[in-house]
């Protein structure tokens, strides 16, 4: 199954939440911190508890890299624990000149076996195409992000009348000849989402910003429902994995996820 097929199958089953494994040694339950491979133990419990209810997992490489080899080894083991029919996003936001991007792509897909990447498009098509060449994978290019700094450059108006993020959107659609691309569009941008959702075409949209970043779930669902699109993947990291912080943290994470799934179900049928 391609990454796109894995995602579409989950969307079809009504699952749209991606569980973000931003696993931070300082935020996991205290009783786990002293254990060897604490991140892996934490992730293992979370995956076991959430795998039947999640649309995908997103692994934020920074949280593992910051621990050095030890962290990356635990990331590698985490990826192996995820069932094959669930897409795993390697959230590393890479993007460099061609021969370097080729190396990053090799690392993400050949070495770590991720299904999807997240990419910085600033440097243009030749910085992205080494990723796009992995046709069975899915590549989310940063379009409009969920953080306040999206104002600085992403929302600048171009001479053409478009905003920069809209130009990025248009180019990504143009580059999507293999139907293996997507965009990152922050869920904190209600107005921009409403204004642009009709222009997303076949792209799969990864929406961070719900939960700790206070994006509005209802507005997101409504926006996609209004254009009859099912191609959205809402990432929630801290709001799920740190919902609980004692022995039953995994069960509480599962409940948090299920509660989001119910909310989405309610919002899509009413």
Kindly list the residues in this chain that would bind a second copy in the complex (CB under 8 A): 22, 24, 60, 62-63, 65-69, 72-73, 76, 93-101, 103-104, 106-107, 110-111, 120-128, 142, 145-154, 156-161, 164, 167-168, 171, 208, 213
Residue 9 beta carbon to a second copy: minimum distance, rounded to whole angstroms = 28
* CB nearer to a second copy: pick between 101 and 196: 101
For residue 175, the SS3 value is helix
- Taking the complex as a whole, how short is the minimal distance between the CB of residue 133 and a second copy, in angstroms? 15
10 among known catalytic residues:
no
Residue closer to a second copy by CB (options 8, 123) is: 123
Q: What is d(CA 117, CA 241) in angstroms, rounded to the nearest whole number?
A: 21
Catalytic site residue from 9, 44, 51, 93: 93
Q: 3-class SS at 68?
A: coil
**Cα gap 24→252, rounded to integer Å:** 18
Cβ-in-10-Å burial (0-12, 13-18, 19+) of 160 comes to exposed
Q: How far is the CB of 242 from a second copy (least distance, A)?
A: 12
> Of 4 and 94, which CB lies nearer to a second copy in the complex structure?
94
Question: Quick one: tokens of 159?
Answer: 């001479």
Structure tokens at 173: 């659609």
Query: In terms of CB distance, is 22 or 192 closer to a second copy?
Result: 22
Question: What tokens appear for 108 in the block?
Answer: 């993400």
For the CB of residue 186, give the shortest distance to a second copy in the complex, in Å.
9
Q: Could you tell me which of 235, 175, 236, 167 has the C-alpha nearest to residue 203?
A: 175
Q: Are strands 116-119 and 138-144 parallel, antiparallel or unpaired?
A: parallel
Q: Which active-site residues does the annotation give?
A: 93
């Amino acid at each position: 199954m391609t990454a796109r097929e894995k995602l579409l199958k989950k969307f079809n089953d009504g699952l749209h939440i991606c569980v973000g494994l931003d696993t931070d040694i300082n935020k996991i339950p205290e009783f786990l911190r002293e254990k060897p491979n604490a991140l892996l133990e934490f992730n293992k419990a979370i995956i076991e508890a959430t795998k039947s209810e999640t649309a995908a997992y997103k692994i934020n490489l920074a949280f593992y890299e910051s621990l050095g080899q030890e962290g990356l080894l635990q990331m590698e083991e985490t990826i192996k624990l995820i069932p094959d029919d669930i897409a795993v996003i390697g959230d590393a936001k890479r993007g460099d000149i061609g021969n370097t991007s080729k190396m990053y792509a090799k690392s993400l897909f050949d070495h770590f076996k991720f299904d999807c990447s997240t990419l910085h498009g600033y440097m243009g098509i030749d910085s992205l195409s080494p990723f796009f060449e992995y046709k069975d994978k899915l590549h989310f290019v940063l379009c409009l992000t969920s953080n306040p700094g999206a104002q600085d450059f992403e929302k600048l108006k171009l001479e053409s009348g478009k905003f920069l993020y809209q130009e990025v959107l248009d180019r990504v659609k143009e580059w999507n000849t293999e139907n293996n691309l997507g965009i990152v569009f922050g869920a904190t941008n209600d107005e921009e989402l409403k204004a642009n959702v009709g222009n997303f075409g076949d792209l799969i949209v990864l929406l961070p910003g719900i939960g700790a970043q206070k994006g509005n779930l209802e507005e997101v669902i409504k926006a996609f429902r209004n254009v009859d699109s099912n191609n959205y993947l809402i990432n929630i990291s801290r709001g799920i994995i740190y919902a609980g912080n004692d022995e039953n943290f995994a069960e509480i994470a599962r409940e948090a996820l299920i509660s989001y799934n119910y909310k989405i179900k309610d919002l899509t049928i009413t």
